A and B are shown apart, each in its own frame.
Chain A
Amino acid sequence: MKKYLLSFNMGIQNAIEYRFNFFLSLISIVFPIIIQTSIWIAAFNHSSEATLYGYNFTQMLLYTLLAALISRLVATGIEYEINEDIKNGGLNKYIIRPINYFMYKLSVFIGSKCLQYVVLSILIAVIVSGTSFYIGEYELGIQKILLSVFILISSCILNFLISYIISAIAFWLTDVSYLFVVTTLLVNIVSGGIFPLEIFGNTVNRIFDFLPFKYTIYFPVNTLNGNLFGAAITNSLFIQWMWIFVIYLLAKLVWRRAMTRYIAVGG
């Protein structure tokens, strides 16, 4: 196990080495938030209704803010690294050693995200407790906090697994780094990372119910903003873990197949 702890350490070292990059990425989420907020201001101004898709103006802003932060919290970007490893033969050094590539990637990944987790959690906590104090819509007890933390961790795991399985595409298609720009955006949209999923209408939402994506962003956002409570949360949490389990098994299967067709290009 110590090897994975060390990999985790390497992740932290990397993050410190590239800390400037992280602060830039934090600043960069301000822009989509401004754009989306402007869109919602315009939409609410031109509508005679007080709520749109079931959200009033404050709730919509809260959703936008939380969704942007949680998108960043669960984001991985491992597709690009794995694509590089596959394309340039970097995977070789893991295949020939008694180390599990998935566990290694996961450890390094968590290590490199540590700083982000802390900063983003503080931001999320400030926003949630601020609104609960200001609007007073729901109680923020210790139980709720622990539950929220657990759900956020589960969301990170689920999204990591989704990224891991998507990155296996690189075994079949050579140089797909641009494809990952598309999949990342698409996954973010259908996860509810940009707009609340309600705007897609009932039919599409029925489909989303059978997909894992909404359990990475839409579900934690709606837990934190108080839209979901009681049994609705436990039900979703149950489905979330079911997806974690299913995608883990699927990823194992896909990767096992993929490794047999790996061609180890270069040197």
Chain B
Amino acid sequence: MTLISVQNLTKHFEYYEKEQGLKSSFRNLLHRKKMVKAAVEQVSFEIKKGEMVAFLGPNGAGKTTTLKMLSGILHPSEGSASIMGFTPWERKNEFKKAMSIVMGQKSQLWWDLPAIDSFYLLKNIYDLSDENYNNTLNELVELLDVKHVLNIQVRRLSLGERMKLELIAALLHSPKVLFLDEPTIGLDFISQKNIREFLKKYNRDTQTTIILTSHYMKDIEDLCDRSIIINKGKLIYDGKISEIQSAFQRKKRMKISLSELLAREQFETLGSIKEYNGYDVVLEVENERFKEIAHLVLEQYPVQDLTIEDIPLEEGISLMYQKGEQDQ
């Protein structure tokens, strides 16, 4: 069942440019050159109920802007979107009650209050019954293990604790669609892992449709099957994450440690040399040939250690960004 359908979504921002220096500041007082930036350009996609989709892209690619339009915060310049039959930027109450957005860099809790007060206010904002509220809250508090911080002013909490509370605040009313903008940004490794595990479980148990943006590939690899890659406002890929891997990974990476110094030329025929310092060599070799080459290296060279690995997803994706830019 298609839950979200987006067609030719476009957002232009106006801004002004100022050249360096005082003189141009004065010039700008009188006459400013108006520029238009296309933050999001003709983006279309569809998302089914219960899916967990990642939005990927470098900084400034338009991921957050897209999420803001889908959650109704921003009006688009062009295009249409339908989420559960609603147009987000009409900001209907029925729509607001069925969705939620968490922004990693923007707290939605009331800073001067303990989280429990914010939650109680949210209960009333969303008209939740006592029973419903208590059940959901207890369950979420249990899952995220934050019982001990509920009565402390939010401003005094650590980033990790706050992020968990933000998630609870967003999920109290059991939304059908959840947008997450950089939910793990700035968190330490363990907190990231906790949040990932929580989201995974939550998505599996409740069938909530989740769209998330993140810079951490681990988030994406762990959580989402599907990713939508945006660069410079344009959609450049929409599909399985594993297929990004295979599209860019016709190669494997081989790390070789040598016990004796060997000349660079010795490796040049085997594959492309990524790193070389005489004792340690990193080679990229074709998938079809890696067995043969590994064999050859082990037999003929004074090898101390040899590891073979896939090229990391990050590199596959950055190759994709570059490809996207060349195509334009």
Judge whether A10 and B106 touch: CB under 8 Å. Answer: no
Contacts of B13 in A (CB 8 A): 263
Interface segment, one of A1-9, A57-65, A206-214, A223-231: A1-9
In the complex, A266 has a CB within 8 A of chain B: yes
Give the docked Cα–Cα distance between A260 and B73 (Å).
9
In the complex, A51 has a CB within 8 A of chain B: no
Give the docked Cα–Cα distance between A96 and B91 (Å).
7
In the complex, A38 has a CB within 8 A of chain B: no
Measured CB to CB, the nearest residue on chain B to A261 is B75
Q: Which of A6, A14, A260, A266 gathers most chain B CB within 10 Å? A: A6
In the complex, A125 has a CB within 8 A of chain B: no
In the complex, B181 has a CB within 8 A of chain A: yes
Give the docked Cα–Cα distance between A261 and B77 (Å).
10
Say whether, besides A3-B125, A264-B73, A267-B181, A96 and B100 are in contact (CB < 8 Å).
yes
Judge whether A92 and B125 touch: CB under 8 Å. Answer: no
Residues 248-263 of A, flagged 1 when their CB comes within 8 A of B and 0 if not, give 0000000000001111
A-B contact pairs, 23 of them (CB 8 A): A6-B124, A13-B112, A14-B112, A92-B101, A92-B106, A93-B108, A95-B72, A96-B72, A96-B73, A96-B101, A97-B122, A97-B125, A98-B93, A98-B97, A98-B127, A261-B75, A263-B13, A263-B74, A266-B106, A267-B64, A267-B104, A267-B105, A267-B182
In the complex, A122 has a CB within 8 A of chain B: no
Judge whether B125 and A98 touch: CB under 8 Å. Answer: yes
Residues 69-87 of B, flagged 1 when their CB comes within 8 A of A and 0 if not, give 0011111000000000000
Contacts of B117 in A (CB 8 A): 10
For chain A, the bracket of interface size reads: 20 to 34
Give the docked Cα–Cα distance between A266 and B106 (Å).
8
Residues 81-122 of A, flagged 1 when their CB comes within 8 A of B and 0 if not, give 000000001101101111100000000000000000000000
In the complex, A49 has a CB within 8 A of chain B: no
Contacts of B89 in A (CB 8 A): 260
**Chain B residues at the A interface, C-beta cutoff of 8 Å:** 13, 64, 68, 71-75, 89, 91, 93, 96-97, 99-101, 103-106, 108, 110, 112-113, 117, 120-122, 124-127, 181-182
Give the docked Cα–Cα distance between A13 and B117 (Å).
11
Q: Which of B71, B73, B104, B108 gathers most chain A CB within 10 Å? A: B73
CB distance from A234 to the nearest CB of B (A): 40
In the complex, A139 has a CB within 8 A of chain B: no
Give the docked Cα–Cα distance between A264 and B104 (Å).
15
Contacts of A2 in B (CB 8 A): 124
Give the docked Cα–Cα distance between A3 and B122 (Å).
8
Contacts of A89 in B (CB 8 A): 106
Q: Which of B74, B120, B124, B127 contacts A264, CB < 8 Å? A: B74
8 nearest interchain CB pairs?
A: A267-B105, A267-B106, A98-B93, A3-B124, A93-B108, A98-B96, A2-B124, A3-B125
